[in-house]
A and B are shown apart, each in its own frame.
Chain A
Amino acid sequence: MKSYFSLVIATLAINTDLFAAEAGMPQLNPKYWASQAFWLILIFTILYISIAKFYLPKIKNNLDDRENKIKDDVDDANKFKDLSESKFKEYEKILADAKKEVIKIQIESRTILDKNIQSKKEAMEKEIENEISKAQKEIDELKRSSLNDIQSISENITSSIIENISGDKLNESSIKATVEDVSKKNIDKYL
C-alpha cells in the first residue's frame, strides 16, 4: 500500500512538472491574437450574412405559412360548422313543417270523411225511411185487401155453416150485413 501511495505521489509530481512545463495560459500569449480576431470577424460575418439573408427569412416564412394554414383551417372548420348547424336547423324546420302538414291533412281528411259518412248515413236513413213507409203502405193495402177477402170468406163460411146447420139458404145480403157488422165490431182486435 505504501509503495502504491509513493507511486501516486511520484506520478502527481511528474504531472505537476508537466503542468509546469505548459505553464502560463496560452490564452494570454498574444502571438495569435490578431489571427484569431481576423478569422473570428471573417467567419462570424459570413455566418451572420448567410443566416440573416437566407436562413432566418426561410424559417420565418415557414412559421408564418404554418400559422396562416392553421388559421385558415380553423376558419374553414368554423365555417363548415356554422354551415352544418344552419343546415341542421333547416332540416329541423322542414321536419317540423312536415309534422304540422301531416296533422293538418289528418284533420282535414277526418272532417271530410266525417262529412261523407254523415251525408251517406243521412241518405241511407232517408232511403230506409222511404222503404219502410213504402212497405208500411203495402202492408196497409194488403191488410185492407185481406180484410175484404176475409169478409167474403167469412160470408161464404157463414152461409155454408148456416146451410149445413139449418138446411136453408139464407138471404145473402143479410148474411153480408151481419158479417160486416161483426167484423166491424171486432176489426180493431186484428188490425
Chain B
Amino acid sequence: MQQFSVHKIGPEIKIAGVDLSFTNASLFMVISASIILLFLFLGTREKKIIPDKVQLIAEMFYTFVAKMISDTAGSKAKPYFPFIFSLFMFVLFCNMVGMLPYSFTVTSHIIVTLIMALFIFVAVTIIGFTKHGFKYLSIFVPSGVPAVLLPLITVIEIISYLSRPVSLSVRLFANMMAGHTMLKVFGGFVISLGLLGGWLPLSFSVALTGLEILVAFLQAYVFAILTCIYLNDALNLHH
C-alpha cells in the first residue's frame, strides 16, 4: 500500500489551521494537468487543414467527447461540454499517469473522486431545480407505475439518486485501487517466487498491465458518460 500513501513535498502550508501542504498527490495532479495542457497546446498550435498527428488526436478527443454528450444528453447539454471534456481528460490522464511505475495515481484516492462526484451531484441538482423548479422532484416519481408500488418506488428512486455521488466516486476509486493493488501483489509474487517460479506471476503482471490500461480508459469514459446521463436527467425531464 506504499504506492497510495500521501506525503508532503516542500514546506508545510497551513491556512486557518488546515493543512494544505503540497503533496505527491498534488504533484501528480499538476503533472497530469500539465500533460493535458501541453498536449492540447501542441494539438492546436498550428491550424492545419490537413492535421498532423497531435492535432488529429486532439480533434479525435474533441469529437469523441462531443459525440458522447450529444448521444446521451442531447443538444441542451452543449454549454457543459467544456466541463465534461475537462473532466474526462483529467480523469483519463490521472489514470494513465498512474500506470507509470513509481508514479502516484491521483484517482485511487476516495477523497479526490468523491469531491468530483459530489461537485457533479450538486451541480446537476442545482441545474435540475433552476431549469424545472419543483417539477424536478418528479424525477423521483416515474410515470406508469401502479399506485400501490408508487411509495416504494419513490423511496428507491430517492435512495438511488442520493447514492449517485457515492457510486460514481467509489466506482472510480475502487477500480483504480484494486488494479494497482493487484499489480503490486503479483509483482510481490514475482520477487518471492524468484527466478524459478516467478515467471507465471510475471506474465500475469504483464497481462494485468494491459488490462489496467484498458480499465484506466474505461473508467474515465464511464465517469464522463455517467456525468452526461445525470446531466440528461436534469436537462430533459422525462423519466
Please judge, given known A-B contacts A15-B192, A25-B4, A47-B36, whether A39 and B59 are in contact too, CB under 8 Å: no
Please judge, given known A-B contacts A27-B108, A51-B85, whether A39 and B22 are in contact too, CB under 8 Å: yes
- The answer to whether A37 and B19 touch across the interface, beta carbons within 8 angstroms, is no
Count B interface residues, CB 8 Å: 57
- The answer to whether B1 and A60 touch across the interface, beta carbons within 8 angstroms, is no
Asked if B30 is an interface residue, CB under 8 A from chain A, the answer is: yes
- The answer to whether A35 and B82 touch across the interface, beta carbons within 8 angstroms, is no
- The answer to whether A39 and B19 touch across the interface, beta carbons within 8 angstroms, is no
Query: Nearest A residue to B5 by beta-carbon distance?
Result: A26
- The answer to whether B4 and A26 touch across the interface, beta carbons within 8 angstroms, is yes
Query: Nearest A residue to B27 by beta-carbon distance?
Result: A39
Chain A contacts for B188, CB-based, 8 A: 15
- Please provide the chain A residues from 11 to 68 with a CB less than 8 Å away from any CB of chain B in the complex: 11-12, 15, 19, 22-29, 31-41, 43-44, 46-48, 50-52, 55-56, 58-63, 65-66
Chain B contacts for A48, CB-based, 8 A: 82-83, 86
* Complex CA distance for A8 and B191, rounded to whole angstroms: 10
With both chains docked as a complex, state the minimum distance between the C-beta of B5 and any C-beta of chain A, in angstroms: 4
Chain B contacts for A28, CB-based, 8 A: 110
Q: When each residue 57-83 of chain B gets 1 if its CB lies under 8 Å from chain A and 0 otherwise, what string results?
A: 011001100000000000000000111
Q: Which 6 A-B residue pairings sit nearest by Cβ, starting from the closest? A: A52-B82, A39-B26, A11-B192, A26-B5, A58-B44, A55-B40
User: Could you write out 16 A-B pairs with CB less than 8 Å apart?
Assistant: A8-B193, A11-B192, A27-B4, A32-B6, A32-B19, A34-B19, A35-B21, A36-B23, A36-B25, A40-B106, A46-B33, A47-B89, A51-B89, A56-B85, A58-B44, A59-B40
Question: A: which residues have CB within 8 A of B?
Answer: 4, 7-8, 11-12, 15, 19, 22-29, 31-41, 43-44, 46-48, 50-52, 55-56, 58-63, 65-66, 69
15 additional A-B residue pairs with CB within 8 Å, beyond A27-B108, A27-B110, A48-B86: A15-B192, A35-B22, A39-B23, A39-B26, A40-B29, A40-B106, A43-B29, A44-B29, A50-B37, A51-B36, A51-B82, A55-B37, A59-B58, A62-B59, A63-B62
